[in-house]
Amino acid sequence: MVTSAVVITGAASGIGRACAELFAARGFGVVAVDVDEVGLAALTRAQSRAPRPAVAPADPRTAADAGAVTGADSRPAGGPEPRIVPMVGDVSVEETGAAMAELALASFGRLDVAVLNAGIGTTLPWEAPGAIDRLDRILAVNVRGVAIGIRSVVPALRAGGGGSIVVTASSGGLQSEPGNWAYNASKAAVINMVRAAALDHAAQNIRINAVAPGLTETALTARHRTDPASTAAVSRRIPMGRWGQPGELASAVWFLASAESSYITGTTLVADGGLTAH
Ligand code: NAD
């Protein structure tokens, strides 16, 4: 039986998948939620071939475990088998939230961390037909979905004495981009929702933070990388001169989930290669 468990939304692809693989490799039981059934099947297939975790899982709720996280890679082998339990569900639907928390408790007997990462977005001309319906859908997934996620996991976290919620926001929530008004609005909303939610749950030992990725190589941004010239053109906008990798974002999520960040709540950790630094 695992000694720590996490729910991760948007786990079939990109940053969410990298999080699922990282948490599983570090001994967590993972409930992987996504609308993409095929992607979830690919994740669990890959996971069944992955080596068992080389470390004992770290309890993210206690500062005393901070060393277990820091020294994770140097610990001897012997942790439990990794387990990823897939769940097909749409985060904008309230029943999905309740079901994912229940599945964590049924599968692992506990819930310690939630990574509310599922998100959609695309540039949207103001004059495009159906633009307001598209805005509604972006807000439903990126904002409503996070609110549902927080409400759903809090009782299980509280029952275990506390925990950590990490929300995937975006550098686009801090800095606007032409044509991205709907997505930018949704991510700015999420950043402020995280701050307010952190205030509301701090006394229950539940920390709530956000990670704000910059341009990261995932399916979401594939249209910006259709050829080497356009990829390079976008890279030139990034001070570090390259796109982020999903695993680099998963590391930032892990930091906020773990006891390494035990005194941090209500913050947004920007991981964007310097994109929003100027
Ligand atoms: P991705 O498209 O690779 O992965 C997103 C996943 O979310 C997909 O598997 C998708 O099926 C799932 N999903 C979409 N709608 C869903 C819903 N309603 N319910 C459940 N699952 C749903 O994209 P990604 O880049 O890994 O995005 C992850 C998060 O990171 C998103 O919130 C995104 O806004 C944010 N982000 C990404 C970038 C980037 O450059 N890739 C930058 C900033 C923020």
Atom 39 (ligand 1) nearest CA = 216
The pTM for the full model equals 0.92
- Section 186-209 average pLDDT: 98
> Is it the case that residue 129 has pLDDT exceeding 80?
yes
Task: Looking at the CA of residue 18, tell me the nearest atom of ligand 1.
Answer: 26
Segment 3-36, tens digit of pLDDT: 999 999 999 999 999 999 999 999 999 999 999 9
Instruction: Provide, rounded to the nearest whole percent, the portion of the chain with pLDDT above 70.
Output: 89
- Section 200-204 average pLDDT: 98
Question: How high is the mean pLDDT of the chain?
Answer: 90
Write down the pLDDT at residue 73.
32
Residues 208, 167 contacting (CB under 8 angstroms): yes
Write down the pLDDT at residue 81.
57
Task: Looking at the CA of residue 187, tell me the nearest atom of ligand 1.
Answer: 34
220 lines ligand 1 (CB under 6 A): yes
Tell me how far the alpha carbon of residue 133 is from its chain's centroid.
25
| Distance of CA 119 from the midpoint of ligand 1 (Å) | 4
Write down the pLDDT at residue 67.
30
| Distance of CA 155 from the midpoint of ligand 1 (Å) | 25
Residues 252, 211 contacting (CB under 8 angstroms): yes
| Distance of CA 169 from the midpoint of ligand 1 (Å) | 10
Which one, of 205, 153, 173, lies nearest residue 145 by Cα?
153
- Separation of alpha carbons 175 and 19, rounded Å: 25
Atom 3 (ligand 1) nearest CA = 14
| Distance of CA 7 from the midpoint of ligand 1 (Å) | 15
Segment 47-104, tens digit of pLDDT: 888 877 655 455 554 433 433 332 233 233 445 555 999 999 999 999 999 999 999 9
End-to-end CA distance of the chain: 47
Choosing from 7, 8, 15, 40 the residue with most ligand 1 atoms within 8 A of its CB, the one to mutate for a pocket test is 15
Beta bridge partners of 244: 216
Write down the pLDDT at residue 278.
83
39 lines ligand 1 (CB under 6 A): yes
268 lines ligand 1 (CB under 6 A): no
- Separation of alpha carbons 18 and 254, rounded Å: 11
Residues 4, 28 contacting (CB under 8 angstroms): yes
| Distance of CA 218 from the midpoint of ligand 1 (Å) | 8
Choosing from 7, 8, 13 the residue with most ligand 1 atoms within 8 A of its CB, the one to mutate for a pocket test is 13
Phi, psi of 61 (to 5 degrees): -90, -15
- Section 177-181 average pLDDT: 94
- Section 187-207 average pLDDT: 98
Side by side, which strands form the sheet with 268-271?
Answer: 83-88, 29-34, 5-9, 113-116, 163-168, 206-213, 268-271
Q: Where are the domains of the chain?
A: 3-51+81-269
What topology is assigned to 3-51+81-269 in CATH?
Rossmann fold (3.40.50)
- Separation of alpha carbons 10 and 119, rounded Å: 7
Give the pLDDT band of residue 199 (cuts 50, 70, 90): very high
| Distance of CA 13 from the midpoint of ligand 1 (Å) | 7
87 lines ligand 1 (CB under 6 A): no
Query: Which of 90-94, 111-115, 185-189, 235-239 has the lowest average pLDDT?
Result: 235-239
184 lines ligand 1 (CB under 6 A): no
Tell me how far the alpha carbon of residue 41 is from its chain's centroid.
19
Write down the pLDDT at residue 50.
81
Segment 226-269, tens digit of pLDDT: 888 888 888 999 999 999 999 999 999 999 999 999 999 999 99
